[in-house]
Structure 1
Amino acid sequence: MKFRNIICTVAALGAIGMSTVSCTGKFDDYNTDDNATTKVTPGMIATQLILNITDIGGSKYSIYHSMLQKQVVWCEGAQEDNQYNMLSRVGFGDYTDFTNCQKMILEAASQTEAVQNSYKGLAKFLKAYRLYGITMKLGDIPYSDSNAAEGGNFTPKYDTQHDVFAHILEDLESAESLFASGAKFEGDPIYSGDPAKWRKACNAFELKVLMNMQQVADQSDAADLNVKSRFARIASSGNIFAGNDDNFMLVFSDAAGQQYPLYNNQHMSFYATSSYLIEPLKNLNDYRLFYYCSPAVGKTNAGVAASSWDAYPGLDPAGDQSVNNAIHADLMDCKPNQRYLQPAGEPIIRIGYMEQNFILAEAALRGWINGSAEEYYKKGIRASMEFIAQYTPAGETYNHGKEITAEYIDQYLAQPNVQLKSNFDGALEQIITQKYLGSYRQSLDYECWFDHRRTGYPAWELNPSTNLNDEQNKFPIRWRYSQDEIDYNKANLEEALNRQYGGNDGYNEKMWVVPNAVETPIAGKTITDFGK
């Protein structure tokens, strides 16, 4: 999927050694003449950099995270790696954006100081955002040397994960401060250059980062990061998301090259919805089911109404592939709702108000902040439902006769089995699982997978007979470093592996940020029972 058709060519060496950048522009909303070549502007570069972190790719690429997070079951031939827990190697191609960030700042030198501050803030946010996603998958990564190629160093050292998180937090707080003294800037397809919106996004994202440090928050080697006090300060700052209008999200349209990833997606014939999503929604009488899925054709052909819960069977994402394929061939599974197959689909959220409320609910439950965990938890559910209702066309084609209205949301939140439980483990399961149910077709990176690794929730089952992880009785808990690093930066990579994992680049090595990573299911828990 392409947006604004900004073309950047990169000459790279090694893992992150981008040494030259040249850009030419021919783009839609930010140009002065579609047919003229113009000087590169900071806005042109900003547009592509922002779209780089919001675009999740077209075709099958947009579905991989949903497979790994057990929301989608794939019914094409052999087992799909992501669905059955086989993780890949992670490359450092995203580092190339950092040279473009420097180019953006240089091109903004003629702007006012306030506008320059906004571009500098954007660069710091983008760096923190990118490297958070990489370190959460791998552990130690280059951070302080991330722009080393500009000085001719193509073999950057690896920072410890502790130091990576320290840099991420520092960059996010610096970005927020720069936006606070910034001005509206050009080239922003998300917030139209509004620095006040970007301040909120920086803070909302930092809350996510800090919650993912929960397992080390009380450890002595993280004392200098002040995880809990930072979280409390940001949560009470007044500069966090206040509603869905603040979401950091990409909006699609019917314009050429800007359609929703599932529109005209040739792979949709293999797509089925997971029982891990469908069964909890049924148990909670949750109308989001009717907005997420189309009824099984085999059910409606047999006379079952599209408005009936019985028309929505889910497939077991840990089940035998041949069994799932046979059920799929008999049309007894659910494809995505037709609303996802329209050109505009729905916006894809990267940092959202719904997610923020569930993070605050967990923080309140853990005693990190004052306030009611249940209140935040219910705000998260409400935000999810209101977002879905807002971005769904009217009519039974899309809601199958189960419309989400304000009255329905109030009724849903009043149900006894929706009330937050009084015991910690029960309440945590509800908070994390409701976040999971609200994240369908959203791209909060791999946050649901990270939540499962950190807390054990959502309570996914493990089937050793279908699990493709090296250790068949365990979920994997990390990815592996890229072959490029082995080939071009071996000495620094080996130093990092020896420091972290005794030299082993394995899928079940425990990184610093999650020393108690959950590898096996919680006894007696299964997500398909959630809400009963």
Structure 2
Amino acid sequence: MKKYTFSILAALAITFSATSCTEDFEETNVNPNLISEITAGSVLNPVIYNLVSNNTSKNYDITAQLMQVHIPFPSNALGIHRYDITQGTGNSTWSTTYNNLINIEEMLKVSREKGDVNYEAIALTLRAWMMSNLTDMFGDVPFSEAGQGELGNFTPKFDSQQEIYTALLSDLENANALYQNSLGMKYGADILFNGDVTKWKKFTNSLHLRLLLRVSNKAEMNSFQKMSAILNDPSTYPVFTSNLDAAVLQVTGIAPNVSPWQREQDYRDNRAFASFFINNLNEINDPRLAKFTTHATDNNGISIGYKGVDAAYEGNSSQFDFTPSRPNTDFVMEPMKLILMTFAEVEFIKAELAQKGFYSNAETHYTNGVKAAISLWTDLDPTEEYLAQEKVAFNGSLEQIMTQKYYALFFTDFQQWYEYRRTGFPVLPTTSTMLNNKKVPNRLLYPTSAQNLNKENYNQAVQNMGGDQIDIKVWWENN
């Protein structure tokens, strides 16, 4: 198993030729059987691309439906937007995470052996990013014993979510202390930050804020005090301070750095924006609408502006006498952006922290978040008139912060869904066709592979969590 992993990993690494010798992603013909060892740098780019590409695809498939961004259309029965969750819904995230965890563990191993502390810090950061997404999706998952097939452990235990978060938060603290600007990125520029160690460090600490906020309902995690300590010591703990810092992968279209959608029409066809998402932006004449979506048209093909359909709509799609707004294909045509974490998210984290009394200048950070979220996608700064609108101007409420954060998290893996589960905002409309008592699922079902191949540990995890149903709350949701 280890040799197989090394061969695939090394082949990917060389294909991602920007790692060491060029900034262009040119495909290289290689014989993986000739690769005898890897470096921490050769692992990095394939892992970044593979994870963020899959997460973006799953944002489209899962998050956008659960959070009423856009939905399959027509869709006359069931579907994820009606909370029809199957055991296969989370399969891709589960398998992609564990395939890449093996590679991250190898990256950690070789970076520690060679004293490559910057790569060790980056590996810890990427592991925290990917594993936090996985545990927030399922709850308890294998972590401490995961990826030990070469040691003969093919049935790893499921760690509790509290154990996982405790370890990840510790890893991020350690990663921050490891970075050394003077060492640079010895294996060449990476595809995310182009070899900028300072930006990697900012990502580490910005991610640290996200994870601390995620578990802030658990008093024993002391999250608000730790977040305040990070933000009050920017020389030790730098975080994103502009969109130029953000963890955003610029997709060039030069293979293999390509769009997750091989055909842009697959992003648009049989998909419509939801009324909830469209209507809120229509009310404030939001400039992002033109970037995100197309105009709806009447039966004569004449534009009727931006108009969506209700998620989980009742009845047949033939009831609609118009063609609703659809996703804009320009959004997934290279060059394009794939999001790990944005500057706007950091500003909304600060705003919430201040709103709760643990930081200062809630209105300033809220406004910064709104501005950053708009300029990320439009390259425009919102006008003073836009910011002064009643629905935009800061009113001091958590609901307003989270509603604007919801829009700022557009296209960002599963974060809209996770933040909704943490706060209950934004308030989403319901219909009679929604399953699960019309409640947004709290988690996805474990894949069948986890049940069939690791049955004893699966059963123990289910017992510990109280079941394997979509309405079971994960640890940080339980107060």
The TM-score range, normalised by the shorter chain, is: 0.7 to 0.9
In structure 1, the residue matched to 2:119 is 119
Q: Distance in 2 between matches of 1:59 and 1:140?
A: 23
Point out the more displaced range, 25-34 or 129-138: 25-34
Residue pairs, 1:71-110, within 5 angstroms: 71-79=69-77, 81-89=79-87, 90-91=90-91, 92-93=94-95, 94-108=97-111
Instruction: Identify the match of residue 347 of structure 1 among 337, 360, 367.
Output: 337
Q: Distance in 1 between matches of 2:210 and 2:59?
A: 24
Indicate how the Cα distance of structure 1 residues 35 and 56 shifts in structure 2: closer, same or farther if over 3 A, else same: closer
Point out the more displaced range, 375-384 or 30-39: 30-39
Residue pairs, 1:206-221, within 5 angstroms: 206-216=208-218, 218=219
Residue pairs, 1:257-276, within 5 angstroms: 257-262=256-261, 264-267=263-266, 268-276=268-276
Q: Distance in 2 between matches of 1:300 and 1:207?
A: 50
- 1:331 deviates by 4.3
- Cα deviation, 1:36-83, whole Å, max 9, x if unaligned, reads 557444322111111122213787884432222210021145546322
- 1:167 deviates by 0.4
Residue pairs, 1:164-243, within 5 angstroms: 164-180=164-180, 183-185=184-186, 186=188, 188-216=190-218, 218=219, 222=220, 225-238=221-234, 239-243=238-242
Q: Which amino acid aligns with 2:41?
A: G
In structure 2, the residue matched to 1:530 is none
Q: Which amino acid aligns with 1:97?
A: N
Is this contact kept in 2: 1:65–1:82, CA < 8 A?
no
Indicate how the Cα distance of structure 1 residues 349 and 237 shifts in structure 2: closer, same or farther if over 3 A, else same: farther
Number of aligned positions between the proteins: 457
Residue pairs, 1:92-491, within 5 angstroms: 92-93=94-95, 94-108=97-111, 113=115, 116-180=116-180, 183-185=184-186, 186=188, 188-216=190-218, 218=219, 222=220, 225-238=221-234, 239-262=238-261, 264-267=263-266, 268-298=268-298, 301-302=301-302, 304=303, 311-320=305-314, 322-323=316-317, 326-327=319-320, 330-340=321-331, 342-344=333-335, 346-369=336-359, 371-390=360-379, 404=380, 406=381, 408-422=382-396, 427-440=397-410, 442-443=411-412, 445-463=413-431, 465-468=432-435, 471-491=436-456
Q: Distance in 2 between matches of 1:61 and 1:242?
A: 25
- 1:260 deviates by 3.3
Indicate how the Cα distance of structure 1 residues 483 and 79 shifts in structure 2: closer, same or farther if over 3 A, else same: same
- 1:262 deviates by 4.8
Structure 1 vs Structure 2: percent identity of aligned residues? 26
Is this contact kept in 2: 1:429–1:458, CA < 8 A?
yes
Is this contact kept in 2: 1:58–1:262, CA < 8 A?
no
TM-score (norm 1): 0.78
- Cα deviation, 1:340-394, whole Å, max 9, x if unaligned, reads 25332x312211101111111111111222x11111110000001211222xxxx
Indicate how the Cα distance of structure 1 residues 511 and 21 shifts in structure 2: closer, same or farther if over 3 A, else same: same
Partner-residue secondary structure (3-state), 1:481: coil
- Cα deviation, 1:67-123, whole Å, max 9, x if unaligned, reads 222100211455463222123444542223233224334555786x4xx10111122
- Cα deviation, 1:422-463, whole Å, max 9, x if unaligned, reads 4xxxx11111111112333x22x2111112212211111122
Cα RMSD (Å) of the superposition?
2.8
Point out the more displaced range, 235-244 or 153-162: 153-162
Structure having the higher helix fraction is: 2
Structure 1 unaligned residues grouped into runs of 5+: 1-8, 13-17, 305-309, 391-403, 517-532
Q: Which amino acid aligns with 1:264?
A: R
Partner-residue secondary structure (3-state), 2:248: strand
Structure 2 unaligned residues grouped into runs of 5+: 22-26
Is this contact kept in 2: 1:296–1:335, CA < 8 A?
yes
Q: Distance in 1 between matches of 2:113 and 2:473?
A: 47
- Cα deviation, 1:3-54, whole Å, max 9, x if unaligned, reads xxxxxx8789xxxxx8997632334434669345574443221111111222
